Amino acid sequence: MAGKLEGKVALITGAARGQGRSHALRLAQEGADIIAVDVCGQVDTVEYPMSTPEDLKETVRLVEDLDRRIVATQADVRDYAAISAAVDAGVSSLGRLDIVCGNAGIVNLGMVHELSLEQWDTMIGVNLTGVFHTCKAAIPHIIAGGRGGSITLTSTAVALRPVQGAGHYIAAKHGVVGLMQTLALELAQHHIRVNTVHPTNCDTDMIQNPSMRKAFVPDSENPTREESVPAYTALNALPIPWIEPRDISNAIAFLASDEARYITGIALPVDAGFQRI
C-alpha cells in the first residue's frame, strides 16, 4: 500500500540523530525521499556532545533500508551559502521539494542577565536565523514544484509556557512562531502550509546529558537518568517524564500529508500537557 507521502521529497535539518533522524525515517516510511542536513560537529556554547558524520551515515543507511532515496550533506544552518547549496543539490538529485522540517536546534541554560554575548548570538543564530535560512533556501523549490507543500518548524513547549533560565532559547523559539505565522500568510497563495510543533522534553541527547540533568536535579553531584525522572515528570500533566522522538514525527507526518491539507498557521503542542497541572 502506498504511503501518504508517496512521490514527495522532504528536507530535514538536524537529521543525523534524535528528532531529525526520527522525522527522516517516519516520512520515508510514508513514501517520501529525503534531503538530510546536519552540522555533524560541535557548536561553541553547547555543553553536550553533538552529532557526528557517523550519525548522519547511519541515518542514510536506515532510510535506504526503507527503500527510499536520500541525499545527505554536512552543513551549518547558520551558513546560508552552505544550506542553500545542500538544498539545491538535494533537489537536483531527487527532482523536487514538497516538505520542509526545520528541526535543527541547540539548547543551553542560563539566567538572561548572566548569559554571555556568545551564548545569545549562537542560540539566535542556530535556532532562529538557521530556520530562516532553511526556509529561504527551500521555498523557491516548493513554489517551482507547482503543487503546494508543507513546512513544519520545530519550536518548543516553553515558547508557549515560558520557564526561567532559558530566555535566549525561548526568545529564539518565540521568533520561530512569528516566522511561521508570517510565512503561512505569505505562502498560502501557493498552497504551501506552514505550522510549528511544540514538544515538551523529548528523550534525545539534548536533554539526556549531565548539564541538563544538573539543572533539574541540582542537589546531586552527577544526576542519573533515573534521578531526573521525577523532576521532568512534574512538568507534564500526563504522568511521564518525556516524550519520544516518534511522537513529534507522527505529528509532522500528519501535517505534511493531505489529511492536514487545510491546516496552516497553527502552533501544535505535542507536550503531554506541559505545565497545565
Whole-angstrom Cα distance, residue 172 to residue 189?
27
262 counts as catalytic: no
Do 40 and 52 meet the contact criterion of CB atoms below 8 Å apart?
A: yes
- Among residues 48, 169, 232, 262, the one annotated as catalytic is 169
Do 128 and 134 meet the contact criterion of CB atoms below 8 Å apart?
A: no
199 CB-contact burial (10 Å; exposed 0-12 / middle 13-18 / buried 19+): buried
How many C-beta atoms surround the C-beta of residue 230 within 10 A? Answer: 11
| 252: helix, strand or coil | helix
Do 26 and 256 meet the contact criterion of CB atoms below 8 Å apart?
A: no
Whole-angstrom Cα distance, residue 33 to residue 36?
10
Name which of 215, 197, 167 is nearest 48 in CA terms.
215
List active site positions: 169
